[in-house]
Amino acid sequence: MRVLIVSDVTGYMHGGVPAETVALVRGLAARGHAVGLAGDVPPRGAEAAQHHRITVPTGGALGDEVRRAIGAFRPDAIHVMAMSSRGLAQLAPVLAGRPWLLTCHSLPPHERKLPRWHASEALHYGARAVRFLPHALAWRWLFRRGAVPQAVVHSEAMRQVVTRYGQPAARCALILLGCDAPGTPAPARPEPVGPAPRLLTMAGVAHTKGLHDAVEAIASLLHDHPGLTYRIVGEVRDASYVRHLESLIRRHGLGERVRITPNLSHEDKERALREADVYVQPSHEEGFCLAYIEAAALVPRLVGADTGAIAAIGAGDAGARTVPVRSPARLAQALREVLGATLPADLMARRASRLAAAFGWPHYLDAHEALYRRLIGGTVEVRAGVPASAPQSR
């Protein structure tokens, strides 16, 4: 089978869509499939794919660039891994009559940045909803027009968003992301937490990651854990939000307790995970949260907000707690619980077995291969696309 992956997310980005793209390219190639990649640059690790360059950010040349990639690669199936609504409207006539599917990681206004009003959730998210309303309406128009023959999502929460926007449930597949094994084995048994607990979050530094909730929660824990430290590791995606976090840290007198660290190498990230006593994911919005499942492979104690697949990752796990989003008080309560908990000696072995069964990359690849074959065989209806008058919003 020949599969062409198309993405408007730069291959220079770390994590997220490029990380999934690498996993899909490697997995398909290992199973003997020919893989093409239409993007600006191949992400590191996707060398098995035949690269076909498209301009990112995308513009008026997108349709012609993808048409050339199709002509050169001659795919059996096309997988649009990420695309704006504007880009999808341009691609619809190019893809018409061909077997193709779209992965939806998030839809506007979800996970979109608004560089202001970080001190008020109601104002920040209300203004964001207004700012991205045209983009949300464009997606609703595309789904309700039947422009997408098959959608793929990575969490039940995201499936609900996509079907609410108008994609038929029968043409929206939930495929959980996989989990890579760490470079070295996880600890055989959880160690007790010492007098100076180390908390860690890995996330792009932006409002939707809820890092301010974690700072508020940690401020309330210092009475019981005066030696506690909290490290935030991730790409700065909104400088205004960093300033808000820094102001919050100063207000609570946490200057010696909270540290924001820019991007680290893979080895340094793994080292940070191994040194952490608790991994915290306070996100307000996630399509899945690859960082959380990667942390689960190494950190015995986990606390995450109930978004994306976080609840499913921690389900039935003695070392994990899931709390409502935007709830610093519940976050603090859960942190107190896991910091004081005595965990089963076989926790990590049982977790590894459970996550492999539910989230293994083989399941992810099996499900995609099955979808490609259904599309190629014509068992998933392929509509003729959308007219040139489609709404032009992301």
pLDDT at 185: 65
- Residue 382 pLDDT > 70: no
Cβ 234 vs Cβ 263: under 8 Å = yes
Residue 189 near residue 348 (C-beta atoms within 8 A):
yes
Q: What is the mean pLDDT of the chain?
A: 92
Would the pTM of this model clear 0.85, i.e. be above it? yes
Q: 46-96: per-residue pLDDT in tens?
A: 999 999 999 999 999 999 999 999 999 999 999 999 999 999 999 999 999
Q: Is the pLDDT of residue 12 over 60?
A: yes
**How large a percentage of the chain has pLDDT more than 70?**
94
pLDDT at 375 over 70: yes
Helices (H), 15-120: 16-30, 62-73, 85-95
pLDDT of 335 over the 70 cut: yes
Give the C-alpha separation, 286 to 351, whole Å.
22
Interval 258-297: pLDDT, tens: 999 987 888 898 899 999 999 999 999 999 999 999 999 9
Q: What is the pLDDT of residues 14-29, one digit of tens each?
A: 888 999 999 999 999 9
Q: 336-362, pLDDT tens digit by residue?
A: 999 999 999 999 999 999 998 889 899
Alpha-carbon gap, residue 81 to 309, rounded angstroms: 19
Q: Of residues 194 and 131, which shows the higher confidence score?
A: 131
Q: Which domains does the chain have, with CATH numbers?
A: 2-178+360-377 (3.40.50.2000), 198-355 (3.40.50.2000)
In sequence order, the β-bridge partners of residue 153 are 174
Q: How far is CA 377 from CA 77, 98, 169, 209, 387, in A?
A: 10, 11, 20, 41, 25
The answer on pLDDT for 394 being more than 50 is no
Angstrom CA distances, 114 to 31, 207, 289, stand at 42, 8, 21
Mean pLDDT of 172-180: 90
Tell me the mean pLDDT in the region 197-219. Answer: 97
Taking the C-alpha atoms of residue 187 and residue 274, their distance in angstroms, rounded to an integer, is: 8
Q: Which three-class secondary structure state does DSSP give residue 161?
A: helix
For the sheet with 34-39, list strands across it. 50-53, 34-39, 2-7, 77-82, 100-103, 151-153, 172-174
Question: Is residue 392's pLDDT more than 60?
Answer: no
pLDDT band at 175 (very low <50, low <70, confident <90, very high): very high
